Chain A
Amino acid sequence: MTKAELTWTGEGATFPPMRDEHSKPSGRRWTVPIMIAATALLSGCISVSSPDKPIVIELNINIRQEVIYRLAKDADNTIKENADIF
């Protein structure tokens, strides 16, 4: 490209075809700033913080309830059969 010599002597190239072929396409120029802006916006809306207490899942209660339901009929019979102590 012989015409390139003109840009070296003149002002900086502003027209895309005249820019150096290794420079980034102009379409990506705003990608990083937009991502930063989006992140900033998101962090303004949703704040995610780790809980200060450990997460405890109380499986014990559900297991017990299931067991109690299973035993209910049996226990009812037991109480009727042992009416002297219930």
Chain B
Amino acid sequence: MSNVMKRVVLAGVAALMAVGGVAGTAYAQRDPAYEAARASGKVGEKMDGYLGIVGASTADLQRLVNDINIKRRAVYADKAQAANATMEEYAITAGCVAIARTVPGEKYQAPDGSWQTRTNAPPQRDSRCPA
């Protein structure tokens, strides 16, 4: 292996590590309590773009859901204004995407309003949702 090739390979590895490092730190991760509530199906993604409580509500669960929904609402308001859309339109679109991004075992709201458990199959979504 020539010196030039070695240098190219080293540069490539360095670049990959740099990209990986940026991707790992740029986006904050879910709070462990939120992650656990999702995984256990206590909370689910609603069609309107907000989080919902699936089964029996507790004070802790309600606080967690309210906290996230208030933050989501602020994000929707900001992004909707930038995209020249209403907050409701933006939230519904985000709901389409959030339901599509659920992983098997998590809960989501089907178009008929019922809570469904995500399987490996595509989720049941509103007909207005983009593919």
Contacts and interface: CB of A to CB of B under 8 A. Distances in A.
B89 A64 contact: yes
B2 interface: no
B42 interface: no
A85 B83 contact: no
Residue of A64, A67, A71 with most chain B CB atoms under a 10 A cut-off: A71
Interface stretch (A18-26, A31-39, A73-81): A73-81
A65 B93 CA distance: 9
B128 A86 contact: no
A9 B29 CA distance: 116
B75 A85 contact: yes
Interface residues of B, number: 24
Interface in B69-89: 71-72, 75, 79, 83, 85, 89
Contacts, number: 69
B53 interface: no
Interface in A40-86: 61, 64-65, 67-72, 74-76, 78-86
Interface in B43-98: 68, 71-72, 75, 79, 83, 85, 89-90, 92-94, 96-98
A72 B85 contact: no
Main secondary structure of the interface of B (DSSP, over half): helix
Nearest to A78: B79
B5 interface: no
B28 interface: yes
A74 B83 contact: yes
A61 B130 CA distance: 13
Nearest to A64: B128
A71 B83 contact: yes
Interface of B: 27-31, 68, 71-72, 75, 79, 83, 85, 89-90, 92-94, 96-98, 101, 128-130
